[in-house]
Amino acid sequence: MSDGNKDGPANINRSSAKDSGTVLHDIAASSQSGTPPAPVQTTSGRPASYALPDANLSLALLENSDVGIIAIRRDGTICFWNSWMEQTAGFKAADVFGKTLNDVFGTALPNRLHTAIDDCLSLGMPAMISPSLNKSVLPLRPQSQFAQKFPQMQQSIRIQPVSLSDEDVICAITVRDVTLAVQRDQLLRRQAAELAELVTKTRRSEDRTRAILQNTIDAILVASEDGNLEPLNARAQELCGPQGDPEIKNIIQFLLPDCGNNPPPKPPSDRLLTDLGTGVIEILACPANGHNIPLEVAISHFTAYGRYHYIITLRDISQRKRHELEIQNTMQELENSNAELEQFAYAASHDLQEPLRMVSSYTQLLARRYRGQLDDTADEFIHYAVDGTQRMQRMIDDLLTLSRVGRHGKPFQPVPLTGLFDAIEANLKRAEAAPAGNVIRQPGLPVVTGDPSQLLQLFQNLVSNGLKYSDPTHAEVHISAREFDSFWRISVSDNGIGIDPQYHASIFEIFKRLHGYGDYAGTGIGLALCKKIVERHGGNIHVESALGEGSTFHVDLPKEHNVL
Amino acid sequence: MSHPRSVLLVDDSKFARLLIKAFIESGFPGWSVDEAAEANSAQQKADSSRYDYFVIDFNMPGKNGLELGADIRRQHPDATVALLTANIQQDIQNQAEALGMDFIAKPPTQEKITAYFSAKEAAHD
Amino acid sequence: MIDLSDLERDTITELINIGVGRAAASLSEMVDQSVELTVPSISFVQRFSDANLIAAPGEVVSAVTQSFNGPFNGDALLVFPEKRSLELVRRLLQVDVPLDSLGDLEQEALMEVGNIILNACLGSISNILGHPINCSMPIFRKCETRNLMPDACPPGTSETETTAPFLLILHVQFMLRENDIDGYVLFVMDLDSIQTLKRMVNRYLENALG
């Protein structure tokens, strides 16, 4: 379309028209009547072999041309109208000859067309009328496939003067259908717009991602396959920069799962805060410009463009470390004070035994020697003194046992509960505390893990408690076990007097008794001891009971003992 | 036709001024025609002499024809002001009309000039 | 060197201004927005290399050319730096999606703009002088400024005045919405032609002024 006709067809046409001595209108008329027009002679400047084709052929070519051709005379009337025009405009040539374009199409034709035709006829100016600057100059029908989107054909129009003689000029109008090109242009533009929008969106999203990355508190770095480290955000740049830690890159490279052929040397041990292989990596960064910072290192990976990359995230855990230290200190203090307490309990109970034994021995001696020699009241007093010293003796024994749970624990080992309860029953029988057959065991009790002698003490306490607080003639204690995901629950139930729910928590406290000394024997230390043993095993003990309904003590013992 | 009129032509093109002056003098003998090449000198002339007609070009260095025309219309409400321009856009024509100015499209021809002034004179009489 | 009197120069300038005014009106109507066109300067030079617009010889320009032959012969060119031409077409067509270069339809639109302006300038001269000017269809070219109008003779060789092209250079300014877009119109004529033009202008002035 950029090819103008620089020669200008005017010259050729001028000579041919002059030679033929006729106007196109007449040619058209004569062709319609079947009379051939006068033969056209060769232009003077051309070799004979380029003789112009005869007028019939020219006319046929123009008629059947794939462009619209209109010729307009000086007076504005149409004198040529090819078949392309007939089809697209819907007017037969015979019907438009002698009429003006306005007559044919109505007066809606744009000024641009009229001005161009006027300038062509009066001044010899050619013109081109483009489809973009002018919307559908002539009301022509589009091809059917465009009809839906384009009510009118999109046209590219050329207007050229054709001189018939020195005085006479006609205006030749060529119309090309460019609807397809316009459609393509619109499509291209729409796609370009979509693309531009996509680019904008992507850019916006990228900016956002970058801002998020930049403003993340953690330092983030990426390492390519060759171990080359690139800080991705401000914090990472800070740590790796001139004010940062000169060693940090080496440490990170050392931590990467595969860091090329020459692995970096192991960093100094004070820079690695955790043992390798424990799953948590903590390192110590020593920036040039400030305090050391403990960092937690997380390494993940991704594959991009066929290459493997690691993302290294460094999180400042100073705060967490401080908290951990505080907790550790508190724990230590707690442990110390517990130990002191146990030590005190042991020392107290142990040292109390000596004078107590003396009081006990002498009161018993008094009782033996002087029973019946003094008056009745004296006998009664001596009885109370003996009873008191005996109870005190038991309490001190129990206190000693309790204090030993923490201090004299044995290593844990598998303990088959069947054997354990065999031993308990045997003990009770020896003490004549349990008639045969009143301890009923669920078959197939499991093997648990723990300190065998403490576990024996625990369950023996529970069983004898159960028997103690029951009607001796009907007393029954049931032992059962139930498996949970992480622990075994061993349950000891009795059909005894039961415990009011308001006391369910306090019964495990030391020296807590719910009954007078006269009703049930005991020091009030038994359940406290049970609780202490269970806790040493990392487990739990609780009771389910109601008054008169019997009681069930549940002991949960963990299957695994990780942290002991 | 009534008594001779006075006209001030304002146009930066000497050619245009010569042409219009020649057309007026041949169509209306006895009329006086003064010239100015831009708005400032036109304003001075208008202040010192009385003109019946102002014919002002649109595109000029300095104030354009519409601006000068508006001033003249305000200062000399009795005078007739015409905007003469090749800029024949509707927008400019509308602005000229709103300011009470006539509109003459360039290029000026004898017929156009004679017709314009004849019609104006006929309306006055 | 050709001598033009002030009046001759003024006359040609005025004729071209009239033409450009018509072209602007025509464009405004077509694109349904105000298009103002002014000619801030007109210069006559003997050699292309003397022209201001050769200041950036490597700049890529879009040019629409029409040849004319009538009483006087030559080429008329409308020249824009390529970016300006893109901007011009897009403002005229009021499209917002920029493509990197002129599309086919945009190129055709630019050719039509050139056609309207060049026709208006030539037509204005032709109309006043009462002589039709035969003109070719516009052609479009994209090239560096230095290749736009190679000087007829290589530097150093003496050229006779008759063969040296004579250039009439108009700086044209489009005012579209808020932006100005600057371009040039060049008329390239030989000495014979400019003298013919001069003669015709004088004859016209004599007739018109009595």
ipTM field: 0.85
pLDDT of residue A395: 80
- The answer, for C130 touching chain B at a CB cutoff of 8 Å, is no
**Which residues does residue A448 pair with via DSSP β-bridges, in sequence order?**
A415
The fold of the A319-408 domain, in CATH, is: Helix Hairpins (1.10.287)
Contact by Cβ (8 Å): A64, A83: yes
pLDDT of residue C131: 79
Name the segment(s) of chain A with CATH classification 3.30.450.20: 9-177
Across the interface, of C11, C28, C124, the residue whose CB is closest to B89 is C28
Highest mean pLDDT: which range of A76-85, A270-279, B13-22:
A76-85
Report the range of poorest mean pLDDT among A23-27, A164-168, A273-277: A23-27
DSSP string over chain B: --SPPEEEEE-S-HHHHHHHHHHHHHHSTT-EEEEESSHHHHHHHHHHS--SEEEEESS-SSS-HHHHHHHHHHH-TTSEEEEEES---HHHHHHHHHTT-EEEESSP-HHHHHHHHHHHHHHH-
Which pLDDT score is estimated for C128?
78
Classify domain A411-558 at the CATH class level. Answer: alpha beta
Chains A & C: contacts with CB separation below 8 Å: 125
CA-angle at A537, arms to A534 and A541, nearest 5°: 25
Chain C neighbours, 3+ Cβ pairs < 8 A: A, B
As a whole number, mean pLDDT of residues A487-492 equals: 94
User: Would you place residue B3 in the very low, low, confident or very high pLDDT band (cuts 50, 70, 90)?
Assistant: confident
Q: With pLDDT > 90 as the criterion, what percentage of chain A qualifies?
A: 28
C-contacting residues in A 128-187 (Cβ below 8 Å): 128-134, 156, 158, 160-161, 178, 181-182, 185
Of C103, C115, C126, the CB nearest to A128: C115
The whole-angstrom distance between C34's CA and the closest CA on chain B is: 8
- Please indicate whether, in this complex, the C-beta atoms of A7 and C136 are within 8 angstroms of each other: yes
Q: For the residues A11-21, what does the mean pLDDT come to? A: 38
Higher pLDDT, A545 or A407: A545
- Say which CATH class B6-124 falls into: alpha beta
Nearest CA in chain C to B21: C209
- A162-205 pLDDT, tens digit each: 988 777 889 999 999 999 999 988 888 888 888 889 999 999 99
Separation between Cα atoms, residue C171 and residue C149, nearest integer Å: 16
Query: Does A314 have pLDDT greater than 60?
Result: yes
Point out the residue among C35, C124, C209 whose CB comes nearest to the CB of B18.
Answer: C209
User: Among partner residues C70, C92, C126, which is closest to A133 by beta-carbon distance?
Assistant: C92
Query: Do A121 and A162 touch, CB atoms closer than 8 A?
Result: no
Q: Is the pLDDT of residue C73 over 80?
A: yes
Q: What is the CATH number of domain A216-316?
A: 3.30.450
Which tens digit of pLDDT belongs to each residue from A198-240?
Answer: 999 999 999 999 899 888 989 999 988 777 888 989 889 988 8
Asked if residue C42 has pLDDT above 80, the reply is no
Residue A13 confidence (pLDDT): 39
pLDDT at C164: 61
pLDDT at C30: 79
The percentage of residues in chain C with a pLDDT greater than 70, rounded to a whole number, is 83
Residue B85's pLDDT is 82
- Best interface-test mutation with C: which of B14, B33, B89 has the largest number of C CBs within 10 A? B89
Of the pLDDT bands very low, low, confident and very high (cuts 50, 70, 90), residue A26 is very low
CB contact under 8 A, C115 and A127: yes
Higher pLDDT, A514 or A290: A290
In angstroms, the CA C114 to CA C67 distance is 12
Cα separation of C119 and A159, whole Å? 12
Residue of chain A nearest C113, judged by CA positions: A133
* Position A468 pLDDT exceeds 70: yes
Could you give the C-alpha distances from A161 to A6, A124, A444, C71, C187, in angstroms and in order?
A: 14, 6, 117, 17, 22
Q: Could you read off the pLDDT of C95-117 as tens digits, one per residue?
A: 766 667 777 888 888 999 999 98
Helix pair A111-123, C104-129: axis angle to 10 deg: 50
Q: Would the CB atoms of A133 and C31 count as touching at under 8 Å?
A: yes
Please check the confidence at residue A31 and state whether its pLDDT lies above 50: no
% of residues, chain B, pLDDT over 70: 97
CB spacing of C38 vs B59 below 8 angstroms:
yes
Q: Where is average pLDDT lowest: A68-82, A122-136, A499-513, C133-147?
A: A499-513
Judge whether C111 is closer than 8 Å to chain B, CB to CB: no
Q: Does B5 touch chain C (CB under 8 A)?
A: no
Residue ranges covered by each domain of chain B: 6-124
pLDDT at A471 over 90: no
Two tokens, residue B35: 């010239």
In Å, how far is B59's CA from the nearest CA of chain C?
A: 8
Domain A9-177 falls in which CATH fold? Beta-Lactamase (3.30.450)
Confidence of residue A7 (pLDDT cuts 50, 70, 90): very low
Read off the pLDDT of residues B29-51 as tens digits, 9 standing for 90 and up. 999 999 999 899 999 999 999 99
Q: Name the class of domain C6-147+163-209.
A: alpha beta
Q: What per-residue confidence (pLDDT) applies to C157? A: 47
Domain with CATH 1.10.287 in chain A: 319-408
Chain B residues whose beta carbon lies within 8 Å of the beta carbon of residue C30: none
Q: Which of A473, A465, A461, A468 is nearest to A437 (CA)?
A: A473
User: How high does pLDDT run on average in chain B?
Assistant: 88
Min Cα–Cα distance to chain B from C135, Å: 22
**Touch test B–A: 3 Cβ pairs or more under 8 Å:** no
* Residue among A2, A123, A189 minimizing CB distance to C123: A123
Segment C146-202, tens digit of pLDDT: 887 755 444 444 444 445 667 787 777 777 766 778 888 888 888 888 888 888 888
The letter for the amino acid at A448 is V
**Helix%, strand%, coil% for chain C, nearest 5:** 45, 30, 25
From residue A195, alpha-carbon distances to A184, A201, A361, C93 in Å are: 16, 10, 105, 21
Contact at CB, C21 and B86, closer than 8 angstroms: yes
Per-residue pLDDT at A14 exceeds 60: no
| pLDDT tens, position by position, A109-132 | 888 899 899 989 988 889 999 998
Q: pLDDT digit string (tens) for A491-523?
A: 999 988 888 888 888 888 877 666 665 556 566
Most confident of A5-19, A330-344, C49-63, C170-184: A330-344
Residue A416 confidence (pLDDT): 93
Interacting residues of C132 by C-beta distance below 8 A, sequence separation 6+: A122, A123, A124, C70, C126
* Residue B59 pLDDT exceeds 70: yes
Q: At residue B20, does pLDDT exceed 80?
A: yes
When scoring C137, C139, C142 by the number of chain A Cβ atoms within 10 A, the one with the most, hence best to mutate, is C137
Secondary structure (3-state) at C92: helix
Where do the H-state alpha helices sit in A408-547? 417-430, 452-468, 526-536
Best probe of the A interface among C119, C128, C129, C133, by most A CBs < 10 A, is: C119
Q: Give the per-residue pLDDT at A353.
A: 82
Is the bond preceding B107 in cis, omega lying within 30 degrees of 0?
yes
Is C95 in CB contact (< 8 Å) with chain A?
A: yes
Q: How far apart are CA C13 and CA C4, in angstroms?
A: 12
